């Protein structure tokens, strides 16, 4: 099954037309989910042309990583001209509550903390909306593109960039990778240093991220081990599977 972005663009508004419609619907102030990834950066560049106030928030997978703080500080200065609100990613809460890579003592300490069973992006967005005088339930902007994943292409083929069922809207849903990079370059911005290590923004504890941080970012590796003391098991697991594959 093939779903073409160009076909969806014939059915739904995109680009400036879409952004103008959302400006009329949402008003001058919007909430923006921001990672330090290329799609999020390109999205913010486009939003700055149509909205007077962007309220950006970033959900961290591990608190206190220098490589991510560097990226967010750069975009605070060069893109938003205001602080980017930090919040724990729902997955981080899930990892901690599930004792991911924890020692027995660490698990006991976490159990005593009384973490929430679940945390959603909607919870975070609603709190931000109340704090900034915006209606609860307002859709938040997300730098998602139809051409990135098949599932997103399917969703955009049904509703374009307004994903009401998810409480989101996707300002650059129609863009391809080349357009994203051109938008960033045209704004005089750079990709974060994360792209030198991962070719993406940081978003997980899997081997691809952990091996690069362990090798190149000792300070951040120490921070990750502070939160996830048994994280080296991820490296050992991969090495074991690679060894077995060669056997």
Q: What's the average model confidence in pLDDT over 132-138?
A: 91
Distance from the Cα of residue 136 to its chain's centroid = 21
The answer as to whether 98 is a domain residue is: yes
- Distance spanning both ends of the chain, measured CA to CA: 38
Look at residue 109 and tell me if it is in a domain. Answer: yes
- pLDDT over 90 for what percent of the chain? 86
Bigger pLDDT: 246 vs 196: 196
Average model confidence (pLDDT) across the chain: 93
Q: Characterize 63-101 residue by residue with b for buried, 16 or more Cβ atoms within 10 angstroms of its Cβ, and e for exposed.
A: eebebbeebbebbeeebbeeebbebbbbebbebbbebbb
Tell me if 223 is assigned to some domain. no
Q: Quick check: is 206 in a domain?
A: no
Residue 235 lies in a domain: no
Tell me the residue range of the domain where 25 lies.
5-194
Q: Band the pLDDT of 165: cuts 50, 70, 90.
A: confident
Q: What is the pLDDT confidence band of residue 245, given thresholds at 50, 70 and 90?
A: low
Structure tokens given for 245: 């594959």
- 64 within 8 A of 91, measured Cβ to Cβ: no
pLDDT for the residue numbered 205: 95
Number of domains in the chain: 1
For 169, the enclosing helix (H) or strand (E) is strand 168-169
What is the per-residue pLDDT across 189-238, written as a single tens digit (0 to 9) for each?
999 999 999 988 999 999 999 999 999 999 999 999 999 999 999 999 87
Residue 185 lies in a domain: yes
Candidates 179, 139, 146; CA nearest to 8 is 146
**Band of residue 244 on the pLDDT scale cut at 50, 70, 90:** low
pLDDT of residue 114: 84
Integer CA distances (angstroms), 128 to 47, 62, 121, 162, in order: 18, 21, 11, 20
Whichever domain contains 170, its CATH number is 3.40.50.620
Confidence of residue 247 (pLDDT cuts 50, 70, 90): low
Structure tokens, 116: 């929430």
- At residue 77, the pLDDT reads 97
Q: Tell me the DSSP string of 63-80.
A: TT-HHHHHHHHHHIIIII
DSSP string, 5-49: HHHHHHHS--HHHHHHHHHHHH-SEEEEE--SSHHHHHHHHHHHT
Per-residue pLDDT tens over the stretch 55-111: 999 999 999 999 999 999 999 999 999 999 999 999 999 999 999 999 999 999 999
pLDDT at 32 over 60: yes
Confidence class of residue 164 from pLDDT cuts 50, 70 and 90?
A: confident
Please report the pLDDT score of residue 199 as a whole number: 87
pLDDT of residue 209: 95
Within-domain flag for 204: no
**SS3 label, residue 221:** helix
Inter-residue long-range contacts of 134-139, CB under 8 Å, 24+ positions, other chains counted: 134/29, 134/31, 134/55, 137/167, 138/26, 138/30, 138/31, 139/26, 139/163, 139/164, 139/167, 139/168, 139/169
Does a structural domain hold residue 213? no
243 — pLDDT class (breaks 50, 70, 90)? low
Per-residue model confidence (pLDDT) at position 116? 77
What does the pLDDT read at residue 1?
Answer: 56
pLDDT of 246: 61
């Amino acid at each position: 099954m093939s779903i073409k972005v160009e076909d969806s663009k014939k059915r739904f508004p995109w680009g400036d037309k879409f952004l103008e419609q959302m400006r009329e619907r949402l008003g001058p102030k919007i909430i923006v989910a921001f990672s330090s990834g290329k799609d999020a950066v390109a999205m913010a560049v486009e939003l700055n042309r149509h909205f007077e106030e962007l309220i950006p928030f970033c959900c961290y997978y591990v608190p206190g990583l220098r490589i991510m703080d560097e990226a967010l500080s750069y975009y605070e200065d060069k893109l938003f001209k205001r602080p980017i609100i930090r919040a724990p990613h729902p997955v981080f809460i899930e990892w901690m509550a599930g004792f991911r890579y924890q020692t027995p003592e660490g698990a006991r300490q976490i159990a005593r903390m009384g973490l929430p069973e679940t945390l959603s992006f909607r919870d975070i967005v609603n709190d931000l909306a109340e704090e900034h005088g915006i209606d609860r339930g307002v859709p938040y902007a997300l730098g998602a593109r139809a051409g990135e994943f098949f599932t997103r292409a399917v969703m955009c083929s049904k509703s374009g960039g307004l994903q009401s069922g998810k409480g989101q809207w996707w300002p650059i849903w129609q863009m391809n990778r080349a357009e994203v990079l051109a938008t960033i370059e045209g704004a005089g911005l750079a990709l974060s240093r994360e792209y030198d290590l991962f070719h993406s923004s940081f978003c997980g504890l899997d081997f691809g991220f952990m091996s690069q941080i362990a090798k190149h970012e000792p300070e951040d590796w120490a921070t990750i081990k502070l939160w996830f003391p048994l994280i080296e098991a991820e490296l050992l697991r991969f090495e074991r599977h690679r060894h077995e594959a060669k056997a």
